[in-house]
A and B are shown apart, each in its own frame.
Chain A
């Protein structure tokens, strides 16, 4: 089974994001970068599938030379090789999906696994755009019935299940009011939710090995994709701050305030 996974470079989810005074972007100084957590879950799922069914995991990232750090991270986790689409400057989801489409057409994977959203743009779009561009089926927000504390999780069993004939995958999805299960013919696009798996740490030998794994360089020009953004970000601003609250000494005071001041109970 050949699995293509993504590794977007994003700000560390723990970091404090501040908007520049002129609203042109966020303050970059002092920020740390990581692989998008949802993509990391995708890499993990790809590795589990490849371990169970044989095959390889190819990881792709789009951006400047810096994204090689995230590619190396995925390679250290166990991906076989990497594709780097070298591009500086703004990209929107249409552009990203169009680039990924070309990479998929070149690589011909059986399955593409991406994060359901990246924690910077929070758009939750690329997997779905990609599936439609390719004319493939999609299973977004992939999860599983077992919890992250279960035996299956400890044994790194893939949650995305290949059907008996090997021609489709069965995916449990997190949706409103419950879990929906779909069966999608391969090749297919899957996007990951938080409860799909707990990504492994890269081992020291893994990190050493990753250094010599190949990274192929591509560009939007080489792939023949016009990535001019069709989403213009005109201005960024900080969200309105909430009025400072108070600490109450006890339950009686809390209830009095909720009843007489906030009038919510």
Chain B
């Protein structure tokens, strides 16, 4: 039986990165279409706790390898271990969420497997040997249906396009394997986490984003976000200026989000920004310029000064409670 192998990701804080669950449900959809079995793999210093969590996602098996070297993720140590497991299992597909780690790691895995790769898979089509992937190109201006023709096929999953797999179902077999850790030419130095009490941008139900129109004053953006229990996002212009951490950039080359509600204030709506938020359920745009392209994707547009609108909006929403 063909095998789909999905790589799960541990965050630096030890928890499972949520996008892994979306990748697992993409893996399930793929396994159904390709008539394959779903397997998961997790590398960690101590994978036991997350393996327990992954056990209940409906996969056939969870493969784990433990090594002190896996404490800090490095493509150079992870790729050989994952590629070796894929070869041993004779996996036909190897996938992972399109996180920073997924994007860094999977091409290196693909290179070892002489595999072609599709990044940011949004849909899986066809069946059996004729499975194809839909993925975005040109900042999401084009959806391309692609077929990978190498024996092993590698992909990353756009998490917003697949539901998160539930964790309480079934009990996969947890198998440990001995990963050979190769000497690495790369050394982990440090990780400076941007701590925030707000929800994770890619997981939040509501996102409030600010653009250059804020002139760097994010107080009202943050206050509205806190009223809504929302995450804060930003356009490239704002991150480039150093007004907010880079990690908050939404767009083609930043984070892709699809919350229930996306509020864009002082953002013009360049195609690169739209690429990261266009599939949000409801979009609100607040912009002084009635011609701003953001209004073309907004369900509700308000042509006004954001500094006037945001406090009023916050108070009105507070009043609903």
Q: A residues touching B (Cβ–Cβ < 8 Å)? A: 11, 13, 16-19, 26, 38, 92-94, 97, 116-117, 119-129, 131-133, 136-141, 143, 146-150, 168, 170, 173-185, 188, 193-195, 230-239, 242-243, 245-248, 250-252, 254-255, 257-259, 262, 264-265
Contact = CB atoms under 8 A, between A and B. Distances in A.
Interface in B132-156: 132, 136-150
B302 to A, nearest CB: 6
Nearest to B74: A182
Given A93-B107, A125-B119, A235-B145, A119 B100 contact: no
Interface residues of B, number: 90
B192 to A, nearest CB: 5
Nearest to A252: B316
A42 to B, nearest CB: 14
B79 interface: yes
Nearest to B138: A17
Contacts of A242: 278, 283, 296-297, 299
B284 A254 contact: yes
Contacts of B245: 178
B316 A251 contact: yes
Contacts of B272: 13
Given A128-B107, A176-B11, A176-B17, 8 more contacts: A26-B138, A138-B75, A177-B193, A230-B148, A231-B118, A242-B297, A251-B312, A258-B284
B107 A125 contact: yes
Nearest to A126: B107
Interface stretch (B25-33, B63-71, B181-189): B181-189
Contacts of B290: 247
B110 A122 contact: no
6 contacts: A26-B138, A126-B107, A136-B185, A177-B12, A183-B186, A183-B187
Contacts of B107: 93, 124-129, 132
B299 A234 contact: no
